[in-house]
Amino acid sequence: MTEDHIPPQCIFPKPRTTSLIKVDCCESCRKGWSKDDEEFRRFVWSAEGAEKHPSCDKAVDSIFSSIRRLESKHYKNRVVNSLEDVEAYSEGGIFLGIKPATKLEWHRIEGVLKRIVKGLFFLRNSHLIPNDHELIIKIPDLELGNELSRLPFEEIDNICDGIFRYWLYEQNDGSSTSLWLMSFCQAVWALGYIRPVRSPIP
């Protein structure tokens, strides 16, 4: 047994606070996540709005340090090849011009977000998500954001001046149904939805 940081500690620039969240973890599970964590760090700190956070410069410096490492040649090539110019629009559909963007591997990011929610659930309940429940990850759009704003979420934690914050809404129906709303640098929002597994619809 060992411990794992949730979220991954690499998203927090050094010197790191001692208040990072850690959960019990088996070493064989923990070892294979470094590439996913690197992709997730790039996801958080490349998001529009993240540059407003006071730790952004340190975070970006650490990302470039990782890219420059000799053993990360494959990662460097993947980052460089992912860059492109795209048309940018506001949430209301207003054209904002051409802006640089980077393609990301969603399956890695989704995997990290699931790991975070699983860890937070375990931290709160001292057991794993039941086998008869499923975990769904969503990146809220404006419509979903409006729906979520109607629910009485409780803020649970705020780490490193808002680099990571999360809120919880639990349904008191005897199940483990719950919503885990997460914010990273107030630029990236994600929702973890734990619910009983539904029967497949024909």
pLDDT: which is higher, 162 or 2 = 162
Claim to verify: residue 30 and residue 79 sit in the same structural domain? yes
The average pLDDT across 9-36 equals 85
Within a domain: 182: yes
Do 93 and 120 belong together in one domain?
no
- Chain centroid to Cα 78, Å, comes to 20
In a domain, 122, yes or no: yes
Does the residue 202 lie in any domain? no
Do 34 and 121 reside in the same domain of the chain?
no
Same domain, 159 and 186: yes
Q: Looking at residue 123, what is its pLDDT? A: 94
- Report which of 91, 81, 90, 74 is spatially closest to residue 35, judged by C-alpha positions: 74
What is the pLDDT averaged over residues 23-50?
86
Q: Which residue range is the domain that position 30 belongs to?
A: 2-102
> 123-159: string of b/e by CB count within 10 Å (b at 16+)?
eeeeeebeeebebebeeeeeeeeeebeeeebeeeeee
Condensed to tens digits (0 to 9), the pLDDT of residues 58-107 reads 998 888 887 777 556 676 777 777 778 888 887 778 888 888 777 888 99
User: Domains in the chain: how many in total?
Assistant: 2
Answer yes or no: is 138 within a domain: yes
Considering the domain architecture, whether residues 27 and 97 belong to the same structural domain is answered as: yes
Same domain, 88 and 129: no
pLDDT over 70 for what percent of the chain? 95
Which of 102, 133, 159 marks a domain boundary? 102
Q: Indicate whether 58 and 122 sit together in one domain.
A: no
Domain boundary among 37, 68, 102: 102
Q: Is residue 175 part of a domain?
A: yes
* Residues 14 and 62 sit within 8 Å (Cβ to Cβ): yes
- State the average pLDDT for the chain: 87
pTM: 0.86
pLDDT of residue 199: 59
Asked if the structure places residue 201 within a domain, the reply is no
Residue 159 forms part of a structural domain: yes
Domain identity same for 70 and 112: no
Residue 79 lies in a domain: yes
Last residue of a domain, one of 80, 102, 124: 102
pLDDT at 71: 58
Residues 107, 28: Cα–Cα separation, whole Å: 20
87 forms beta bridges with 98
Whether residues 6 and 97 share a domain: the answer is yes
Q: Are residues 123 and 49 in the same domain?
A: no
What pLDDT score does 32 carry? 77
8 and 95 assigned to the same domain = yes
Whether residues 131 and 164 share a domain: the answer is: yes
